[in-house]
Structure 1
Amino acid sequence: MKTDFKFSNLLGTVYCQGNLSFSPDGTHLFSPVGNRVTVFNLVDNKSYTLPFAHRKNISRLGLTPQGNLLLTVDEDGQAILTSIPRRVVLYHFSFRSAVTALAFSPSGRYFAVGLGKNTEVWHVPSTPDTNAEGDLEFAPFVRHHSHRGHFDEVRHIEWSNDSRFFLTASKDLTARIWSLTPEEGFVPTVLSGHRSGVVGAWFSKDQETIYTVSKDGAAFQWEYVSRPSRDDDEMRDDDESDMRWRIVKKNLFMRDRANVRCAAFHPESNLLVAGFSDGIFGLYEMPDFNMIHTLSISQSDIDFVTINKSGEWLAFGASKLGQLLVWEWQSESYILKQQGHFDAMNSLVYSPDGQRIVTTADDGKIKVWDIESGFCVVTFTEHTSGVTACEFAKKGNVLFTSSLDGSIRAWDLIRYRNFRTFTAPERLSFSCMAVDPSGEVVAAGSIDSFDIHIWSVQTGQLLDRLSGHEGPVSSLAFAPNGGLLVSGSWDRTARIWSIFNRTQTSEPLQLDSDILDIAFRPDSLQIAISTLDGQLSFWAVSEAEQVAGLDGRHDVSGGRKIGDRRTAANVAGTKSFTTIRYSTDGSCLLAGGRSKYICLYSVSTMVLLKKFTVSVNLSLSGTQEFLNSRLLTEAGPAGLLDDQGEASDLEDRIDRTLPGSKRGDPSARKRRAEVRVSGVAFSPSGTAFCAASTEGLLIYSVDNTLQFDPFDLNMEITPASTLAVLGQEKDYLKALVMAFRLNEAGLIQRVFQAIPYTDIPLVVEHFPTVYVARLLRYVAAQTEQSPHVEFCLLWIKALVDKHGAWLTANRGKVDVELRVVARAVAKMRDEIRRLADDNVYMVDYLLGHQSKGTTGKSTTDGTKAALEWTGIEEDHDHSVKALPSSENTGISMADIIQQDDVNEGEEEWIGLE
């Protein structure tokens, strides 16, 4: 099988921290997910993750007004400049300190960053569409100017429409106005008057008004006016020397016990939106400060809000719960509403069709993710405790999950409901589960009991309890052929059960350490067992003896936790694989555990084929090979010290956690996520695999896009010679093979459509087997795109008839192509069925008029005229059929009904001649 898997997408995480950004057209939303950036297509309902990764979590990102460049900055000030159309990294740069604010000018030539108390303006690297002179740049990032004046960190930067001025809002209770270049008569201005840190400052559309919002809920309106007169009756001329920015109106949001966490202003529509710490946002119309509506969208703080260019969509991000929402305020509806798991994921499984992935986590939720769109389709919340395992039945859309709440639940993924719940006589916490391939029996093991419980799926009754283990059962696996059940336990034994025989016997397999996971090979002849000492052992099921083994401690080792006393190389004795899975063809084994590596082994040679690095994010514990000794203090590692009480804001210093609600190690002073892999799975087609990690759901796939890949070429094979063979020699088979050798889409389509339909079976019968998969994929694509329906179906029928044996033998290689064909045929069938149903209803209505009596011409004649007008003719045997010209008549069924109602009783239908 192919092993050149590459990272393709990140699911399970939609927002972590930092700011959100809309594309210039407002159809795409850029969201930071850890040290990566995910782009959500809000129109096509799809998402993808950019291929680059920072060394730490992203804190700020900015998009140029043209939408072609993306600048992302992590927590340490390391920046990456990316080309959005090509999705490639252009430049790496360091700002040498944390960036607290980032904004591009509307002209696209400058961007401003907030570096603590200072503000710096930089030139945007020129691109071919902005650099008219074509000059070469040797330094993409050039600093234009630096501004100093704030006494606390800058939290927000906003540019004016003409890119001449920009506003900075700071935690020092002030906002300041700066100019890009020295302006005559202008001096930097301080806007002071707030009693709390300023969240944001914005110019109005005409730049005559400035709006500022502070954390305590005050919204000020500033205008450039002179000092108001103390005597209202006395009018005096404006003194130019007394003109300055003054507060002309003060507004309050009036939110008790809630602070303003973020705000955004849209100058074109004068809309102000504010997000509060209680999860509620408010939408207001300025300058009158009229409240349009408020809505509760989260149970925690809203960290960031932004508005797209048209002012229709509002995007919100809540980092504590990992929520991302896009709200259309005019229709009051959600455009996007996504949320990842609150706690760490425990397991995952592919659906039988390979289109969806199901994940379970400690938060008690089960989420179903669509692979193509990247979105969560449905979330199940019936479990009251952490969900430990999940598995699909081989046939149908039935999912089984086990939980620590003592229940096994069966889910119908067509109606999205829980239709069966299995429980034990006593209260147990189930840690593992397995489903019989037939879907008739489900088995579960517990950490509280040493028995294996077996239920009937049809009745929900407990069938049996298998005893024999002397320790908690950690893993269960049914053979793919449904004959055997293998269980692994902490008592260092694995047992093979024949549960369908009249006498249930178990064959114990003795190992040297506690068993962590068991995987069955797809042919049911071999099992792989992972143990706590880092060993992988392979056993033959029929002989119940070990046939091979390998030591994976050195492969899985790597990464030093922040509290480790030993180096990553010396800590290898504690590393092991907690999850293992066979590939679809059984030739490879995928293994992962509490490490930053995923290992791919060859089953036949016991060789490490490839090692995948899960994450390089230094914000996680366990990604570094060496720790910095400067971060080790007398009180312990600096990363574990709790600095919450030293926060500058009062609400940040208060510890609101409830007693006993802290997760993880109670003795830890500060929790830091640890990089690990809790589950791996191969897709049914074998072209991708997925890993549930700390950062989310990582999908690695083989690139299936066909690039220009010519082979078997010589000097005689050219586009001209191919067309000559097609037109002059009429050798369709040779022309099609030559076109596939050149692999040019336009040439293949021209040859494909020129082959007569009568010669299709003959061409396919002698078509080389090496090109069958490509031809099948091409025909499937043409079936979905081309209007030649019957022509494509004849190709599919010929391929199945002539090469059916080869397709069956190589199902794993052409599974993707066969699914595309099945989807195209099903789509075509549904369209034809819908068209036929519509025609039946129309014909039934027209024929129903025969029972009506009219003066003059009979109703039958009127019906015949209507049939002729609508493109339907009546045969001599009074059957009705559609004429080819019916699609060009331009008249609808509603027009006929209306015309009939108006002219009922007249001699003939008007307009039907």
Structure 2
Amino acid sequence: MKTEFKFSNLLGTVYSQGNLLFSPDGTCLLSPVGNRVTVFDLVNNKSHTLPFAHRKNISRLGLNPRGNLLLSVDEDGHAILTNLPRRIALHHFSFKSPVSALEFAPSGRHFAVGVGRHIEVWHTPSTPDSNSSGELEFAPFVRHRVYTGHYDTVQNIKWSSDSRFFLSSAKDLTARIWSLDPEVGFQPTTLAGHRETVCGAWFSKDQEIIYTISKDGAVFQWEYMRNPNAPESEAVDEDGNEIIDANSMQWRIAQRHYFMQNNAKVNCVEYHPESNLLVAGFSNGVFGLYEMPDFNMIHTLSISQNDIDFVTINKTGEWLAFGASKLGQLLVWEWQSESYILKQQGHFDSMNDLVYSPDGQKVITTADDGKIKVWDVNTGFCIVTFTEHTSGVTACEFSKRGNVLFTSSLDGSIRAWDLIRYRNFRTFTAPTRLSFSCLAVDPSGEVVCAGSMDSFDIHIWSVQTGQLLDQLSGHEGPVSSLAFAPNGGVVVSGSWDHTVRIWSVFNRTQTSEPLQLQADVLDVAFRPDSLQLAVSTLDGQLTFWSVSEAEQQAGVDGRRDVSGGRKITDRRTAANAAGNKSFNTIKYSADGSCVLAGGNSKYICLYSVSSLVLLKRFTVSVNLSLSGTQEFLNSKLMTEAGPLGLIDDQGEASDLEDRIDRSMPGSTRGGDTASRKKNPEVRVTGVAFSPTGRSFCAASTEGLLIYSLDTTPLFDPFDLDISVTPASTLHVLNKEKDYLKALVMAFRLNEAPLIRQVYQGIPHSNIALTVAELPAVYIPRLIRFVALQTEESPHLEFCLLWIKAILDCHGQWVSDNRGSVEAEMRTVSRAVGRIRDELRKLADENVYALDYLLSQPVVSSGGDKGALEGQKVIGDGDEDMEEDDDDAEWIGLD
């Protein structure tokens, strides 16, 4: 079993806080999700999360005009400069204070940051493709100037189109105009007159007008005009016109407009100079779209139940992106067609469980908010959300065929969901109202059983009729976990009474075999071959039991492995804290060789079943905004009133609406993004291996983390020497026509675009010969590549020829090494099945058109009797058509 799992994507969270960014071409949206950045490809309907992580939640993002440099800054002012196309972190830097505004100049040479009351302008670090030497600087961040003058925090910075000037707006009720470099006759100007915090200030496209918008909904239009109180000049030019003194010209308010949204405040605003569009998001979840300078309202729309925190417009002015942090919503709206391009929302509360679909294409998550979400693994988007449960959903399980999902909830119901029609078709309840905490489904999908914390019995229902079949009694404590054997023979239950019971539910006797343990049972898991059982207990032990012999085979003490991370309220060290020394969830890998375990800690542990050693320990999060990610607490943050992070400083906020506390005192469960949480705790509530074994996912406080073996690096050479280069590979392919050598060279370089070019450049007539001569060491790579191409490429027959050649020439090798290419063969099988289904559907839709075309006569323009013997020909120049020729007949295809 490979252990090189790398973080590949983050699902379940689409927006946390901070600003949203469109890429320069307007097709991708960058969203901060906690301490990471997710990129949503709006055209190809895919998303991916960048591999780097900050030590705190991200507060500001900035993207240079070329779109290749991303600057992300966290709450403490620590910044990471990233090469966005290559997804590589280039530099780390600290601004030494929280950053409240960040904007790159249109020229791309500078960027401005708001650090408290000051504005700092920095030179943009150069990249190898922008400087002449091709090397990165020794000191990439060089400060250009510091601008002072504001009396409160800078809220927004916007540059002019020529990058010579920029506007800043702050909480001191003013906006200011600054020049990048000293300009002749220019003095920094203050634009005052607003009665509340200025949310933003923008230049018009021709830079003749400035718009400033304040939090109370006032829009001021400033123009550079003569001061009416200035004395008139007596000097005239040659045409007799008055010469206006430059000292009498100033920026003055030309017009005032108001949004008139009752008591709602302006939370965010954005202006698009090219199309003169102004969009504002309000605290009541409504946004308004206006056309400037006439302030014509295009439309208003309510898109959220809570505040809209950020809004931005793409370069063409067609798409508006909105972020609402309280509910974790992310929306992209096309205002001309009035339709959603993207509408995603994460779980409001912490996730409780997750399960992969049998085909590995979907992940189902359940949470305390009562919602069940279906996530597409390939795209990273939520496909459908079920909201029928009225309380927290505790567990979920698939039937073996994968088209029915079962969920248990604290509302006292077990529900069955049809994942083809996306509806709830069956609901199971107990005679008395119980809060179900776990469930298990028979592999045949005929029987579902559930356990509760209130009752010590296990309830069994028939899926077909929905009737309660039986109640299994025997436990003396709450039932914490259930699992059916993969072969359907027995069901196993774990309880807080220190026992695991093995039930033969389909036998007449329905006897149970108790297995005695030393502590409360937290989770049980079956090995895929149904011969072994893994049990996790509260004392941190992992024990392995033989199902047939009912005796313990082995055990692992995982307390030291899983323990780690000190919560902000802990009075003892992480090594002595007892709350994080056990595994709440365990799962076997697809081949049964490994066990994955997670709990109330920042670690996920991967154990080998045969050798009982810890293979690898994965760190869930390094985010210091979560409680439990540090091994040692900073004594400076401990005060007489308690930890500094838990002291409520909301009453000291400068704005009235920020001082008002509308939140409820609540729990400290992780995952809830509501304002009543200061530091959610890091925890892992569910883990699962994909059916292919190539990846696994974990439901954590930050979201749904996916770790994969298929995170292909950009350059990972294999058996390389100096003569193997992309140029030499293409020369061998195109000039020498040595297709086998070119394919091997491409595999040794291991660059996906090059492999694809060689793959498509081999003629179809040479495929069988090339595959037959391919060394066995490259066969897994070829199978994996062809499998991916079959799913993505439009060349269906070409890909099928490759698959046929591989199985014809190396079928015995594939059979002997099936364990190492199991995932690839599953992908091949799925791709071939998809091609078959699509062709069948295409043929069924066009069967009558094909019959009609095949029944038509074949028409030739020649004057002879035709090119095909026995075929009736109608000649253009032959007036004497032979209608009665017995040898001539219509040729058709049955």
Q: Residue 421 of structure 2 aligns to a residue in which SS? A: coil
Amino acid at match of 2:687: V
Asked if 1:676 corresponds to 2:687, the answer is no
C-alpha separation in 2, matches of 1:638 and 1:243 = 51
Is the contact between residue 361 and residue 377 of structure 2 (CA under 8 Å) also seen in structure 1? Answer: yes
Instruction: For residue 829 of structure 1, report the CA deviation from its aligned partner.
Output: 3.1
Most deviating of 821-830 and 619-628 = 821-830
Is the contact between residue 686 and residue 812 of structure 1 (CA under 8 Å) also seen in structure 2? Answer: no
C-alpha separation in 1, matches of 2:391 and 2:540 = 30
Equivalent residues in 2 for 1:265-284, closer than 5 Å: 265-284=271-290
Amino acid at match of 1:619: S
Residue deviations 1:353-382 (CA, integer Å, cap 9, x gap): 001111000000000111111111110001
Instruction: For residue 779 of structure 1, report the CA deviation from its aligned partner.
Output: 4.4
Instruction: For residue 597 of structure 1, report the CA deviation from its aligned partner.
Output: 0.5
Instruction: For residue 635 of structure 1, report the CA deviation from its aligned partner.
Output: 1.1
C-alpha separation in 1, matches of 2:547 and 2:133 = 72
TM-score normalized with structure 2 length: 0.89
> Which residue of the other structure, out of 694, 702, 711, is the alignment partner of 2:701?
694
Equivalent residues in 2 for 1:623-772, closer than 5 Å: 623-657=629-663, 671-703=678-710, 705=712, 710=718, 745=755, 753-755=764-766, 771-772=778-779
The 1:835–1:672 alpha-carbon spacing in structure 2 relative to 1, beyond 3 Å, is: closer
Instruction: For residue 671 of structure 1, report the CA deviation from its aligned partner.
Output: 4.1
Specify the alignment match of 1:363 in structure 2. 369
The 1:862–1:280 alpha-carbon spacing in structure 2 relative to 1, beyond 3 Å, is: farther
Q: How many residues align?
A: 854
Instruction: For residue 548 of structure 1, report the CA deviation from its aligned partner.
Output: 0.8
Amino acid at match of 1:262: C
Specify the alignment match of 1:141 in structure 2. 141
Q: Residue 100 of structure 1 aligns to a residue in which SS? A: strand
Q: Residue 842 of structure 1 aligns to a residue in which SS? A: helix
The 1:722–1:14 alpha-carbon spacing in structure 2 relative to 1, beyond 3 Å, is: closer
C-alpha separation in 1, matches of 2:192 and 2:739 = 81
Asked if 1:482 corresponds to 2:488, the answer is yes
Residue deviations 1:730-773 (CA, integer Å, cap 9, x gap): 9999998899789783666666745376x79xx75x97765543
Instruction: For residue 646 of structure 1, report the CA deviation from its aligned partner.
Output: 1.9
The 1:210–1:880 alpha-carbon spacing in structure 2 relative to 1, beyond 3 Å, is: farther
Specify the alignment match of 1:10 in structure 2. 10
Amino acid at match of 2:534: A
C-alpha separation in 1, matches of 2:192 and 2:300 = 29
Specify the alignment match of 1:290 in structure 2. 296
Equivalent residues in 2 for 1:331-730, closer than 5 Å: 331-572=337-578, 575-657=581-663, 671-703=678-710, 705=712, 710=718
Equivalent residues in 2 for 1:886-905, closer than 5 Å: none
C-alpha separation in 1, matches of 2:632 and 2:741 = 61
Give the unaligned 5+ runs of structure 2.
232-240, 858-870, 877-886
Instruction: For residue 328 of structure 1, report the CA deviation from its aligned partner.
Output: 0.5
Instruction: For residue 712 of structure 1, report the CA deviation from its aligned partner.
Output: 11
C-alpha separation in 2, matches of 1:724 and 1:111 = 47
> Which residue of the other structure, out of 827, 831, 834, is the alignment partner of 1:820?
827
Asked if 1:299 corresponds to 2:305, the answer is yes
Residue deviations 1:868-912 (CA, integer Å, cap 9, x gap): xxxxxxx96645459xxxxxxxxxxxxxxxxxxxxxxxxxxxxxx
C-alpha separation in 1, matches of 2:676 and 2:742 = 72
Specify the alignment match of 1:842 in structure 2. 849
Most deviating of 810-819 and 798-807 = 798-807
Asked if 1:244 corresponds to 2:255, the answer is no
C-alpha separation in 2, matches of 1:790 and 1:203 = 56
Amino acid at match of 2:130: T
Q: Residue 162 of structure 1 aligns to a residue in which SS? A: coil
C-alpha separation in 2, matches of 1:274 and 1:430 = 45
Is the contact between residue 590 and residue 691 of structure 2 (CA under 8 Å) also seen in structure 1? Answer: yes
The 1:771–1:154 alpha-carbon spacing in structure 2 relative to 1, beyond 3 Å, is: closer
Residue deviations 1:824-849 (CA, integer Å, cap 9, x gap): 43444355446545654435667999
Is the contact between residue 105 and residue 159 of structure 1 (CA under 8 Å) also seen in structure 2? Answer: yes
Instruction: For residue 138 of structure 1, report the CA deviation from its aligned partner.
Output: 2.3
Specify the alignment match of 2:780 in structure 1. 773
C-alpha separation in 2, matches of 1:679 and 1:796 = 37
C-alpha separation in 2, matches of 1:720 and 1:110 = 40
Q: Residue 648 of structure 2 aligns to a residue in which SS? A: coil
Is the contact between residue 558 and residue 572 of structure 1 (CA under 8 Å) also seen in structure 2? Answer: no
The 1:201–1:500 alpha-carbon spacing in structure 2 relative to 1, beyond 3 Å, is: same
The 1:37–1:705 alpha-carbon spacing in structure 2 relative to 1, beyond 3 Å, is: closer
Specify the alignment match of 2:80 in structure 1. 80
Instruction: For residue 397 of structure 1, report the CA deviation from its aligned partner.
Output: 1.3
Specify the alignment match of 1:885 in structure 2. none
What RMSD, in angstroms, separates the aligned Cα atoms of the two structures?
A: 3.6
Q: Residue 822 of structure 1 aligns to a residue in which SS? A: helix
Residue deviations 1:558-612 (CA, integer Å, cap 9, x gap): 1100000001122257521100111111111111000000111111111111111
Instruction: For residue 645 of structure 1, report the CA deviation from its aligned partner.
Output: 1.9
The 1:407–1:801 alpha-carbon spacing in structure 2 relative to 1, beyond 3 Å, is: farther
Equivalent residues in 2 for 1:32-51, closer than 5 Å: 32-51=32-51
Most deviating of 783-792 and 46-55 = 783-792
Q: Residue 24 of structure 1 aligns to a residue in which SS? A: coil
Amino acid at match of 1:261: N
Q: Residue 829 of structure 2 aligns to a residue in which SS? A: helix
Q: Residue 202 of structure 2 aligns to a residue in which SS? A: strand
The 1:573–1:619 alpha-carbon spacing in structure 2 relative to 1, beyond 3 Å, is: closer
Is the contact between residue 79 and residue 94 of structure 1 (CA under 8 Å) also seen in structure 2? Answer: yes
Residue deviations 1:655-711 (CA, integer Å, cap 9, x gap): 2236x8767599x99642000100000010111110011001111111364966555
Instruction: For residue 130 of structure 1, report the CA deviation from its aligned partner.
Output: 3.3
Specify the alignment match of 2:150 in structure 1. 150
Identical aligned pairs, as a percentage?
Answer: 72
Is the contact between residue 722 and residue 738 of structure 1 (CA under 8 Å) also seen in structure 2? Answer: no
Q: Residue 697 of structure 2 aligns to a residue in which SS? A: strand
C-alpha separation in 2, matches of 1:46 and 1:255 = 36
Asked if 1:203 corresponds to 2:203, the answer is yes
Residue deviations 1:144-180 (CA, integer Å, cap 9, x gap): 1111111110000000000110000001110000110
C-alpha separation in 1, matches of 2:252 and 2:820 = 72
TM-score normalized with structure 1 length: 0.87
Give the unaligned 5+ runs of structure 1.
851-860, 867-874, 883-913
Is the contact between residue 341 and residue 361 of structure 1 (CA under 8 Å) also seen in structure 2? Answer: yes
Q: Residue 184 of structure 2 aligns to a residue in which SS? A: coil
Residue deviations 1:544-566 (CA, integer Å, cap 9, x gap): 11111111111111110000000
Asked if 1:796 corresponds to 2:803, the answer is yes
Instruction: For residue 272 of structure 1, report the CA deviation from its aligned partner.
Output: 0.3
C-alpha separation in 2, matches of 1:203 and 1:404 = 55
Amino acid at match of 1:701: S
C-alpha separation in 2, matches of 1:670 and 1:741 = 51
Is the contact between residue 735 and residue 751 of structure 1 (CA under 8 Å) also seen in structure 2? Answer: no
Q: Residue 652 of structure 1 aligns to a residue in which SS? A: helix
The 1:475–1:314 alpha-carbon spacing in structure 2 relative to 1, beyond 3 Å, is: same
The 1:619–1:877 alpha-carbon spacing in structure 2 relative to 1, beyond 3 Å, is: farther
Q: Residue 99 of structure 2 aligns to a residue in which SS? A: coil
Instruction: For residue 462 of structure 1, report the CA deviation from its aligned partner.
Output: 0.6
C-alpha separation in 2, matches of 1:191 and 1:524 = 74
C-alpha separation in 1, matches of 2:728 and 2:271 = 60
The 1:793–1:33 alpha-carbon spacing in structure 2 relative to 1, beyond 3 Å, is: closer
C-alpha separation in 1, matches of 2:352 and 2:305 = 24
The 1:811–1:348 alpha-carbon spacing in structure 2 relative to 1, beyond 3 Å, is: farther
Amino acid at match of 1:796: I
